[in-house]
Amino acid sequence: MTKPMFIETPGPLIGLLSDPHGHAGRTRRACALLAEREIDLLLGLGDFCAEDVIEELGSAGRSDGGRIPVRIVFGNMDIDSEGCARLAKHLGVIVEDGASWLRYGETTLMGHHGHLGEFERAAMGAGVDYLCHGHSHQMRDEQVGSTRFINPGALSRASAYTVATLNLQTDRLEFIDIDE
């Protein structure tokens, strides 16, 4: 794996969303709740499984009418990743190749789906401050050495549907329940 290229985030507040598995309506509600918190960037962590979910991510908007920047990585259940990637790019959603490497000032974050261990090893080798993932459908907030592992939970196949916000400036993590 090549050395990661970190992209500067537009601000410190990151919205984290994972594992919608085709549930566009739930994804719409999740995006609205994240937008209410005025996130600076939405990071989708895989297993979208349908173009209408990608459309919801691409239309995520701010209260002032502006669009929220969105970056996504695909997961193991994203069978039509090529079609979804074409649509995402058309909508202005940035599609990452396996992992998203972000920086806010000196703080670093890597996001990936969680099904490929090589990305976790690369993140640990790079000494990232935060490693965000999906895949397990379980919320996680765990410190491993100098890296904080975060899973926002899932929008499908979970006892509670959740997303999260992470403030890279204050280190504050908030899990958000998505009502049915």
pLDDT at residue 180 is higher than 70 = no
| Sequence spans of domains, the chain | 7-169
Strand partners, 147: 144
d(CA 72, CA 62): 18
pLDDT at residue 63 is higher than 80 = no
Task: Give yes or no for a contact between 75 and 45, defined as CB atoms under 8 angstroms apart.
Answer: yes
CATH no., domain 7-169: 3.60.21.10
The two tokens of residue 91 are: 């909508």
d(CA 159, CA 136): 12
Task: Give yes or no for a contact between 175 and 152, defined as CB atoms under 8 angstroms apart.
Answer: yes
Task: Give yes or no for a contact between 135 and 119, defined as CB atoms under 8 angstroms apart.
Answer: no
d(CA 39, CA 5): 22
Q: In whole numbers, what is the pLDDT of the chain averaged over residues?
A: 95
What count of other Cβ atoms lies within 10 Å of the Cβ of residue 37? 13
* Percent of residues, the chain, with pLDDT higher than 90: 91
How confident is the model over 73-114, as pLDDT tens digits?
Answer: 999 999 989 999 999 999 999 999 999 999 999 999 999 999
Judged by DSSP in three states, 54 sits in helix
Amino acid at 38: E
pLDDT at residue 65 is higher than 90 = no
Contacts with 29 (C-beta within 8 Å, 6 or more apart), sequence order: 178, 179
Angle between helices 81-91 and 51-58 (to 10 degrees): 20
